[in-house]
Amino acid sequence: MKVAVYYSNKDIRIEERPVPSLSDGEILVEMKVSGICGTDVMEWYRIKKAPRVLGHEMAGEIAEVGNKVEKFKKGDRVFVSHHVPCFKCHYCVHGNYTACESLHTGNYEPGGFSEFIRVPEDNVRLGTFLLPDTITYEEAAMIEPLACAIAGQDRLGLKKDQTVFVIGSGVSGILHIQMAKHKGVKVIAADIDEYRMKRATEFGANHVIDAGQYSVEKLKGLNDNRPADAVIVCATAKQAIENALFSVARRGNILFFAVPETDIRIPSLQFWRDEITVTFSYGAAPDDLRKAIELINSRRIAVGKMITHRVLFSDIMHGFKLVTEAKESLKIVVVPDNGPPAA
């Protein structure tokens, strides 16, 4: 089978590997769509473990099942989560599933950018979901990103009629915009790119600010002379981080959904005085994935409209280039060479 091996953002090679063999409780999935995540192109983060096969937003068709698999059968359409908690450890018992060591270390083999993927037994039991007929494979590739946005916003406790400031209007920013609007929250978004500013408006942002000309006064002018109740950072630029730190109201919350390569310096005296909470979010638990499937299936979150480009597996390097350049694109997905035409 063919796999796409990541060596760097500018060096992804199509190589041959044997199709993985299965144990009794495992399944083999034929990849139909695999999304390129923004973290896939964080070279400073990814290159430490290169070469490796990336891809964790994968949906496909079951090609083979192990002897003891009863829940699924050959031909089933599925979304498969690469990370699953153990449900047994201290963190899981207390509901902190994304802190579970199993969630951080588990994965499927070799990765979503592969013609076939072996799904370990734990992922079969806890992280494999049958797709409703009404969800396409492309939409299914958005389940994991949406679930991560759900998990992140759960940490903020957003309430109706509050205001959230979303910095960065790429894929994660647009998902957060839609989620916040679904909750009845006022959304002010920002980006430096005109195309993404336009898309933020299309997906429901009440106001959009050019981040290159941003000031707290502009934010207040759109929000009854108040900073935002919550700030969600979906960009890694130094200026985006600084803007977030000074755009949150007293007793407000900042969620760093994206993280920069360097450490973040917090103005501790200001945050102590104003009782500001800073939090981070990593990954999603099975319940978040179930919520994402339901929101996509009910059409309350429009993920299909976020997919702007489809690239063939053999042309995955072009997909990484599109994501890295971040120009007139949102979500880029990889499809098999015998899949639909690239857009």
Q: Quick: pLDDT tens for 263-318.
A: 999 999 999 999 999 999 999 999 999 999 999 999 999 999 999 999 999 999 99
Residue 10 lies in a domain: yes
pLDDT band at 260 (very low <50, low <70, confident <90, very high): confident
Residue 170 shares a structural domain with residue 238? yes
Residue 339 has pLDDT above 90, yes or no: no
Per-residue model confidence (pLDDT) at position 67: 94
Q: Are residues 222 and 270 in the same domain?
A: yes
Could you give the percent of the chain with pLDDT greater than 70? 99
Record the tokens describing residue 260, joined without a space.
């920069």
Last residue of some domain: 258, 280, 302?
280
Q: Give the CATH number of the domain where residue 69 resides.
A: 3.90.180.10
Place of tokens 């958005």: 142
Q: What is the pLDDT of residue 342?
A: 43
Domain count, the chain: 2
Q: pLDDT category, 343, cuts 50, 70, 90?
A: very low
Q: Which of 280, 305, 327 is the last residue of a domain?
A: 280
Instruction: Please give the pLDDT value at position 340.
Output: 60
215 and 187 both lie in a single domain: yes
> Which pair of structure tokens corresponds to residue 227?
């900073």
Beta pairing class for 57-65 and 27-35: antiparallel
Looking at the fold, whether 218 and 132 belong to one and the same domain comes out as: no
Residue range 115-130: mean pLDDT, rounded: 97
**CA gap 37, 248 in Å, rounded:** 28
Domain hosting 319: range is 2-145+284-335
Task: Report whether 169 contacts 189 (CB < 8 A).
Answer: yes
Work out the average pLDDT over 17-25: 96
Q: What CATH number is attached to the domain comprising 189?
A: 3.40.50.720
Does residue 257 lie within any of the structural domains?
yes
Query: Sign of the C-alpha dihedral, residues 177, 180, 182, 187?
Result: negative
Residue position matching structure tokens 């909750």: 183
Same domain for 162 and 174? Answer: yes
Confidence of residue 108 (pLDDT cuts 50, 70, 90): very high
Beta partners for 57?
A: 35
Please check whether residue 137 lies inside any domain of the structure. yes
Q: Kindly state whether residue 342 falls inside one of the protein's structural domains.
A: no
Q: How confident is the model at residue 221 (pLDDT cuts 50, 70, 90)?
A: very high
The reply to whether 6 falls in a domain is yes
Same domain, 211 and 262: yes
Q: Is residue 151 included in any domain, yes or no?
A: no
Q: Above 90 in pLDDT, residue 326?
A: no
Predicted pLDDT of residue 24: 96
Claim to verify: residue 276 and residue 293 sit in the same structural domain:
no
